[in-house]
Amino acid sequence: MCARNPQYFKSKIKSDCACLNKIIQKAVKVSDKIKFIRDVTRGGVATILCELTEKNNFGIEINETLLPRIC
């Protein structure tokens, strides 16, 4: 909103969004083991693991204490 209407908004907030296509292209070039890429911030680790196991008919056990804390 600030970028579209600078006369109405003043903000020092900076976005942490970035285009990932170049980063993903580099990753795919150096490894042929990448099977899928998902944004963990959209639904969380549990959602992604659940979708992965449902589509591939296997289970996953994770140790939550080993997951990095964001907050």
Give the Cα separation of 50 and 48 in Å (integer).
5
Proportion of the chain above pLDDT 70, given as a percent: 83
Name the pLDDT band for 51 (thresholds 50, 70, 90).
confident
- Domain spans, the chain: 21-61
Write the pLDDT tens digit of every residue in 9-31: 666 777 777 788 888 999 999 99
Give the Cα separation of 35 and 28 in Å (integer).
10
Give the Cα separation of 46 and 43 in Å (integer).
8
Name the pLDDT band for 56 (thresholds 50, 70, 90).
confident
H or E segment at 24?
A: helix 21-30
pLDDT at residue 31 in the model: 92
Write the pLDDT tens digit of every residue in 57-69: 888 898 988 887 7
